[in-house]
């Protein structure tokens, strides 16, 4: 083998490039940060997407809990006896008007 020729230099560059590609492929496959061309690290898209999905899931869980509480309140209103509801409405009608309401009429 001719150690002084350009073929040896090209071979070293090719082996280094293939090694870098294989390294990044393995890192990406297992979810590790990838090396960019400036020797920094870039987060894989899968991790960013997973973080976004976790945040969305937490928001949806909060909204679901609020809706469950509202549903429980509505169920309590609907299942309340009709007599009790009408009695409460009549009690509200019988309350004396406030000064602000009297001024408006």
Per the rule left: phi > 0, alpha: psi between -120 and 50, beta: everything else, 33 is: beta
Pair (13, 51) in one structural domain: no
The parent domain of residue 74 ranges over 45-96
Residue 15 in any domain: the answer is yes
Q: Structural domain tally of the chain?
A: 2
Do 19 and 57 reside in the same domain of the chain?
no
Q: What is the pTM of this model?
A: 0.38
What digits encode the pLDDT tens for the residues 17-70? 999 899 888 888 887 777 666 666 666 666 777 888 899 999 999 999 999 999
Q: Is residue 21 part of a domain?
A: yes
């Amino acid at each position: 083998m001719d150690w002084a020729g350009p073929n040896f230099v090209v071979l070293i560059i090719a082996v280094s490039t293939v090694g870098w590609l294989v390294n990044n492929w393995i890192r990406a496959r297992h979810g590790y940060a990838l090396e960019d061309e400036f020797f920094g690290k870039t987060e894989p898209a899968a991790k960013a997407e997973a973080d976004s999905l976790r945040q969305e899931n937490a928001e949806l869980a909060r909204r679901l809990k609020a809706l469950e509480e509202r549903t429980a309140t509505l169920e309590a209103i609907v299942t309340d006896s009709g007599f009790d509801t009408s009695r409460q409405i009549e009690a509200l009608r019988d309350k004396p008007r406030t000064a602000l309401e009297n001024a408006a009429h």
